[in-house]
């Protein structure tokens, strides 16, 4: 017999609060998006510059990979990767 147990989390909104902070960090790219460094993944893309924005602290550092499209006044997020992960490869980019 299979049993499912549901335990209410002590702070049910805590995971969502982290997402809201991440969203706020990404929205900050609206102002001077060129302030972050060019990412190693830049070599995977021919016609755009890939930049990386660090997010988090301690062992929870993430890299937000993005491109700036001046003509469209747009920043496009390519990937959000944990800082400990290897850099993105061509095969990962295709998916």
Question: Is 79 exposed, middle or buried, given 0-12, 13-18 or 19+ CB atoms closer than 10 A?
Answer: middle
pLDDT tens for 63-86 read 999 999 988 889 999 989 888 877
pLDDT at residue 45 in the model = 86
Residue 52, classed as helix, strand or coil, is strand
**pLDDT confidence of 54, banded at 50, 70, 90?**
very high
Its pTM stands at 0.73
> What's the whole-number average pLDDT of the chain?
81
Please compute the mean of the pLDDT values over residues 19-27 and round it to a whole number: 85
The more confident residue out of 79 and 95 is 79
pLDDT at residue 3 in the model = 45
């Amino acid at each position: 017999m299979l049993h499912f147990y549901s335990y209410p989390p002590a702070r049910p909104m805590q995971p969502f609060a982290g997402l809201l902070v991440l969203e706020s960090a990404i929205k900050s790219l609206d102002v001077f998006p060129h302030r972050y460094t060019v990412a190693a993944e830049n070599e995977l893309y021919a016609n755009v510059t890939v930049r990386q924005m660090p997010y988090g602290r301690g062992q929870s550092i993430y890299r937000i990979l993005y491109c700036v499209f001046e003509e469209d006044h747009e920043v496009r997020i390519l990937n959000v990767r944990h800082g400990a992960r290897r850099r993105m490869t061509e095969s990962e980019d295709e998916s």
